[in-house]
């Protein structure tokens, strides 16, 4: 573990985008049953080739049932003052229901460990802003303007635990085994150009959306400038930040159904669209025309945890599938797994004789795999874009070549 660079990068590395290769793993229990973090630790730590000890993290959904109606902030602080300032700022904007240190296994010989804190929060009512919108503003404010403070996560009944070290070290440090969640995401990193910093590790979170990501977004400039129109400041210089904001914009603000949002991020090729019937062409062309700047380009595979309103795990790769993603379903069909490598699943089945996968498959390039709490596998990542969707349009393109 590296006991430095908690809430920001050293000066000379700032304003540089981080490029890295990564391991990603996650699963969701469809019936909502909560299980310990052990399983996801096994899944991620076996992917050792994809990490170099410079960052790892976990997102856990369903860990705070007692406070499930409040926003759970996970913070990193460098100093006591930063903590005081942040909590003071929070207090001015709503009610802090509970505030406590997140338990960690900090080695005794470390002089300057980070302060890792959580607060359950109820924002002040506002006539013109939704509560989520207030939280978004608070997160942006703390990360941009309160020195030595960083918000790791801000969703309800969930939390992100991350830092600079090997995945097994981060798991030990946060005692991940001790949490019980119905959905787990885990990430390990291989950054190329920075020493890494705690806040810059994945998962990257905003509200109830957490993203783990392997890859590099070649459309970063386009996406970042698009988001700037909507007040998202991309200050962390990671591609993952952009992906999380795009999910937030498309799903929460524009209220696109998840399956449609994933089509905006990785749309089918025009050649494929031309083969569809007129109705589907109109829908897909409307998506491509309207969301041309939201499209993600470059090699990526991501797994996204989302819980607004229904907890969902989404896997998606770029349209050429230049980074890997595999999916699996357990024998009892209650758990859907995703990982950058099949090794994650093998690790689970080989260490437990009573457990096997019903099926392991490779989702298609640019095609979302979506697993929803209570619903199961809604999309398996193999269907053509609009297949299984009962799509209709009332509006649609006018005068487009297909209308």
Partner 1 sequence: MAIVHEILNYFKVEINREQCKKCKRCVNHCSYGVLSFNGEKIVSDDQKCVACQRCAVMCPGNAIRIVQNESFLPPHGNYTRKIRNIIWAQSGDGGVLLAATGNDRPIRSIFDDLLLDACQVTNPSIDPLREKIETKIFFGRRPEKLTFVSDQDDLEGVSLKTKLMPNFEMDMPIMVGHMSLGSISYNACHAIYKAAKELNIVAGTGEGGLHPDFFEYAPNIITEVASGRFGVDLNYLHNAAALEIKIGQGAKPGHGGHLPGEKVSSLISQTRMIPKGSDALSPYPHHDIYSIEDLAQLIAALKEATRYKVPVGVKIAAVHNSAPIAVGIVRGGADFLTLDGFRGGTGAAPRIIRNHAGIPIELAIAAVDERLRQEGLRDQVTLIAGGSIRYSADLIKAIALGADIGMCAMPVLIAMGCRVCQQCFRGLCSWGIATQQKYLVKRLDVDIAKNRIKNLFHSWNEELKEVLGAMGIDSVESLRSNRDRLRYIGPNPHIAEILGVKHAGE
Residue in the block written with tokens 């603000």: 253
Please say which residue, 235 or 290, places its beta carbon nearer to partner 1. 290
Please say which residue, 107 or 257, places its beta carbon nearer to partner 1. 257
Of 244-283, which residues contact partner 1 (CB under 8 A)? 253-257, 259-260, 269-271, 282-283
Q: Cβ contacts of residue 55 below 8 Å, gap of 6+?
A: 162, 163, 164, 165, 188, 189, 191, 196, 198, 200, 201, 202
Applying CB under 8 A, the span of 68-76, 89-97, 134-142, 297-305 interacting with partner 1 comes to: 297-305
b/e per residue, 237-250, with b = 16+ CB within 10 A?
bbbbbbbbbbbbbb
Please say which residue, 220 or 245, places its beta carbon nearer to partner 1. 220
Tokens for 130?
Answer: 């939704």
Read out DSSP for 192-226?
SSS---TTTSSPEEETTEEEEEEE--TTHHHHHHH
Q: Report in angstroms how near the CB of residue 167 gets to partner 1 at its nearest.
A: 20
Q: Report in angstroms how near the CB of residue 310 gets to partner 1 at its nearest.
A: 9
Is-catalytic flag, 209? Answer: no
The yes or no reply on residue 394 touching partner 1 (CB under 8 A) is yes
- Rounded Cα distance, 35 and 21, in Å: 28
Tokens for 309?
Answer: 């309103």
Please say which residue, 290 or 351, places its beta carbon nearer to partner 1. 290
The yes or no reply on residue 228 touching partner 1 (CB under 8 A) is yes
Please say which residue, 10 or 257, places its beta carbon nearer to partner 1. 257
Of 182-211, which residues contact partner 1 (CB under 8 A)? 192
Q: Report in angstroms how near the CB of residue 251 gets to partner 1 at its nearest.
A: 11
Tokens for 153?
Answer: 């996560």
The yes or no reply on residue 28 touching partner 1 (CB under 8 A) is no
Among 314, 338, 372, 377, binds partner 1 (CB under 8 A): 372
The yes or no reply on residue 12 touching partner 1 (CB under 8 A) is no
The yes or no reply on residue 295 touching partner 1 (CB under 8 A) is yes
Tokens for 357?
Answer: 């996968």
Return the SS3 of 93: helix
The yes or no reply on residue 212 touching partner 1 (CB under 8 A) is no
Tokens for 113?
Answer: 């460990």
Q: Report in angstroms how near the CB of residue 200 gets to partner 1 at its nearest.
A: 16
Q: Cβ contacts of residue 134 below 8 Å, gap of 6+?
A: 93, 94, 123, 124, 126
Of 86-145, which residues contact partner 1 (CB under 8 A)? none
* In 229-304, alpha helices (H): 239-247, 258-265, 270-274, 278-290
The yes or no reply on residue 218 touching partner 1 (CB under 8 A) is yes
Q: Report in angstroms how near the CB of residue 295 gets to partner 1 at its nearest.
A: 6
Cα-based angle 87, 139, 224 (whole degrees, multiple of 5): 160
Please say which residue, 176 or 246, places its beta carbon nearer to partner 1. 246
| Active site positions, annotated | 22
Residues that bind partner 1 (CB under 8 A): 19-21, 192, 215-216, 218-222, 224-226, 228-230, 253-257, 259-260, 269-271, 282-283, 285-293, 295-299, 319-320, 322, 372, 375, 378, 388-401
């Amino acid at each position: 573990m590296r006991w430095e660079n908690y809430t920001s990068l050293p000066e000379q590395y700032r304003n540089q985008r981080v490029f890295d290769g990564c391991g990603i793993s996650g699963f969701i229990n469809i019936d909502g049953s909560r299980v310990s973090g052990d399983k996801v630790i096994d899944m991620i730590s076996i992917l050792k080739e994809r990490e170099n000890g410079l960052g790892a993290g976990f997102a856990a959904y369903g860990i705070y049932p007692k406070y499930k109606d409040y926003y759970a902030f996970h913070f990193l602080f460098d100093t006591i003052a930063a903590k005081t300032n942040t909590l003071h700022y929070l207090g001015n904007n709503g009610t802090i229901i509970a505030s406590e240190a997140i338990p960690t296994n900090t080695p005794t010989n470390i002089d300057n460990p980070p302060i890792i804190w959580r607060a359950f929060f109820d924002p002040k009512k506002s006539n013109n802003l939704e509560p989520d919108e207030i939280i978004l503003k608070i997160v942006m404010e703390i990360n941009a303007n309160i020195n030595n403070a960083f918000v790791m996560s801000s969703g309800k009944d969930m939390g992100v635990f991350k830092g600079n070290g090997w995945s097994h070290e981060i798991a030990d440090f946060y005692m991940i085994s001790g949490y019980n969640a119905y959905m787990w995401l885990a990430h390990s990193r291989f950054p190329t150009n920075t020493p890494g910093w705690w806040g810059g590790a994945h998962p990257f979170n905003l509200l109830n959306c957490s993203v783990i990501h392997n890859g590099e977004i070649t459309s970063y400039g386009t996406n970042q400038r698009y988001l700037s129109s909507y007040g998202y400041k991309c200050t962390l210089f990671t591609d993952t930040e952009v992906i999380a904001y795009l999910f937030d914009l498309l799903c929460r603000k524009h209220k696109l159904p998840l399956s449609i949002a994933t089509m905006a991020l990785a749309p089918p090729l025009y050649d494929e669209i031309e083969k569809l019937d007129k109705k589907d062409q109109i829908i897909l062309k409307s998506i491509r025309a309207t969301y041309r700047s939201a499209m993600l380009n470059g090699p990526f595979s991501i797994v996204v945890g989302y819980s607004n309103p229904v907890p969902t795990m989404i896997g998606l790769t770029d349209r050429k599938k230049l980074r890997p993603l595999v999916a699996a379903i357990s024998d009892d069909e209650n758990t859907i797994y995703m990982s950058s490598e099949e090794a994650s699943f093998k690790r689970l089945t080989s260490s437990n004789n009573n457990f096997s996968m019903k099926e392991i498959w490779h989702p298609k390039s640019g095609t979302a795999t979506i697993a929803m709490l209570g619903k199961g596998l809604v999309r398996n990542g193999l269907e053509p874009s609009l297949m299984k969707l009962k799509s209709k349009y009332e509006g649609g393109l006018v005068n487009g070549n297909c209308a």
